[in-house]
Amino acid sequence: MMPPTKKAVFFDRDDTLIIDKVYLNDPKLIEYMPHAFESLKTLKDNGFDLFIISNQSGVARGLVTVENLDLIHAKMEEDFAKYNIKFTGIYYCPYLPESNHPDRKPNIGMILRGEREHGIDLKNSWVVGDRLTDIEAGRRAGCRTILLKTQYSRHKDQGPQAHYEVSNLKSMAEIILRS
């Protein structure tokens, strides 16, 4: 079997690609982070597969329905498609933090699904997120990591350090393309 050769960027969703509305349950309320479209388009045009990996405990809490979560992701796919951006995969973990489910970040189940289902080379891939659970998952999976610290970031977690920290998605794309 051939070793995986595709490079990817695995993005957290809330406060990374879209502004976190805390248990978003309505696709009409999606607001994108600044530079989201042009930054992901640049990565896609430079050969990166793009994934969303998102903890969604609102499902287990009864605050978000799976149907609405699917509609939110369909709306995001539709909006990004207007810029010729297609996500290779959108994965979410609907379980509570205390479940320690293999898919729940900082565990790496969603990243490993992307690797397995799409032939991703994790050593040449990135994880981008606003929480240190994203960074820890990326490091555990053997990816390089970028912590996005913006005006929207509310989380002051303690944990492993990211390879890079940026204040916006444009800087994130520049770092990935330089590396």
CATH label of the domain that carries residue 170: 3.40.50.1000
- Chain-centroid distance of CA 177 in Å reads 17
Within 10 A of 107 (CB to CB), how many other CB atoms are there?
Answer: 20
Q: Is the pLDDT of residue 119 over 80?
A: yes
Instruction: Name the band, by pLDDT with cuts 50, 70 and 90, for residue 150.
Output: confident
Q: Is the pLDDT of residue 146 over 90?
A: yes
> From CA 126, how far away is CA 119, in angstroms rounded?
15
Query: Does any domain span residue 68?
Result: yes
Sequence-separated (6 or more) residues with CB below 8 Å from residue 1: none
> From CA 179, how far away is CA 172, in angstroms rounded?
11
Query: Does any domain span residue 4?
Result: no
Query: Does any domain span residue 156?
Result: no
- Kindly report, residue by residue over 10-20, the tens digit of the pLDDT: 999 999 999 99
Q: Are 110 and 8 in contact (CB under 8 A)?
A: no
Residue 154 has a pLDDT of: 60
| Among 39, 34, 41, CA closest to 150 | 34
Residue 157 has a pLDDT of: 62
> From CA 40, how far away is CA 106, in angstroms rounded?
23
Query: Does any domain span residue 154?
Result: no
Q: What is the pTM of this model?
A: 0.95
Tell me the residue range of the domain where 96 lies: 9-118+132-149+162-178
Q: Are 8 and 46 in contact (CB under 8 A)?
A: no
Q: Is the pLDDT of residue 5 over 90?
A: no
In the chain, how many domains are there? Answer: 1
Residues forming the active site: 12, 14
Residue 115 has a pLDDT of: 97
Within 10 A of 41 (CB to CB), how many other CB atoms are there?
Answer: 16
Query: Does any domain span residue 155?
Result: no
Query: Does any domain span residue 125?
Result: no
Query: Does any domain span residue 88?
Result: yes
Instruction: Name the band, by pLDDT with cuts 50, 70 and 90, for residue 4.
Output: confident
| End-to-end CA gap in the chain | 28
Residue 125 has a pLDDT of: 98
